[in-house]
Amino acid sequence: MITIVVTGTSSGIGLAIAKRGIERGARVFGTVRSEADAVRVSGELGPGYTALICDVRDDAAVARAADTVRAALDGQRLSGLVNNAAAALPGPLLLQPIEEIRTQIETDLLGPMIVTRAFGPLLGADPTLSGPPGRIVNMSSIGGKLRQPFISAYIASKHGIEGWTGTLRRELQIYGIHVAAVGPGLVDTPIWDKVNSFFGRYDGTPYEEAFNNGVRIIVEAGKKHGMTAEGVADTVWTALTEPHPKLRYAPASHPILEQGVLMAMPQRAIDWGLGFIGLRRKR
């Protein structure tokens, strides 16, 4: 049986990945941060799902979660690890509370490193376990290639994930553990409701116009034009199971625009275009 660990399964993409895995016959261990979420998600997904209550930033809690999975594997190796848990809190760097910046960096970049260190032995680094080596899928984003304003900590983390994925893949070759990144374009998930709650937060500052326009545009685009979380989950399942996995996957509702045109545009042209939302010199 395929057994996978998915971080951040309380909602959105993580929940969809866990659900898709169970539908394909996998046993899924998923991290959540509260007992209430554990009960809710377990009830929704059924006996194929086991909740692991931990924050990916807490190395001791993650280590305990890995011990739980090790015991359940009963001497076999883990088939896959999906580093999905993430936080996205918009705000201009000069004004955003430092704790919000720290939360994003620690959750989105340090968290996957903590989780991978804890579960790496189960994927193949521990020679006492049996079975084929597992795979790691790191969830990146279109933001891992672009440079959207007002989510600088998130963007920095996802750029970091892109580079770290390649480094990690090369390091883990000695164990036969393949590492890939999945960087979707816009996805329609509940995260947009959280982003929308920040509208108006920087009113009365030089960023008022640009920030509010930026939040409005990205939330509308995400809800109206984003691909489904289930579509991303299908891509993750492919990365975990196809015989010859790619190094990077980039699913999108509009791949030519999101993963083609936007990626190819000169950076100065994008800078100029952002003037239309209000990102222009004030004085």
Range of the domain at 89: 3-189+225-254
CATH number at residue 112: 3.40.50.720
- The answer to whether residue 54 is domain-embedded is yes
Residue ranges, the chain, pLDDT below 70? 283
Question: Would you state the pLDDT for residue 218?
Answer: 87
What is the reported pLDDT for 27?
98
How far apart, in whole angstroms, are the C-alpha atoms of residue 139 and residue 147? 17
Q: Give domain status of residue 279, yes or no.
A: no
Query: Residue 86 in contact with residue 140, Cβ under 8 Å?
Result: no
> pLDDT, tens digit, for every residue of 197-234?
999 999 999 999 999 999 998 888 888 888 999 999 99
The count of structural domains within the chain is: 1
pTM: 0.94
Among 49, 154, 202, 207, the one annotated catalytic: 154
CA torsion 87-93-97-99 (nearest 10°) is: 50
114 within domain boundaries: yes
175 catalytically annotated: no
Sign of CA dihedral 186, 192, 198, 204: positive
Question: Is position 176 within any domain?
Answer: yes
Strand partners, 241: none
* Predicted local distance difference test score (pLDDT) of residue 283: 65
- Please indicate, yes or no, if residue 212 is contained in any of the structural domains: no
Question: In angstroms, how far is CA 266 from the centroid of its own chain?
Answer: 27
Identify the three-state secondary structure at position 128: coil
In a domain, 170, yes or no: yes
Q: Is residue 275 part of a domain?
A: no
Q: Which of 140, 127, 126, 125 is nearest to 177 (CA)?
A: 125
- The answer to whether position 274 is within a domain reads no
d(CA 144, CA 161): 7
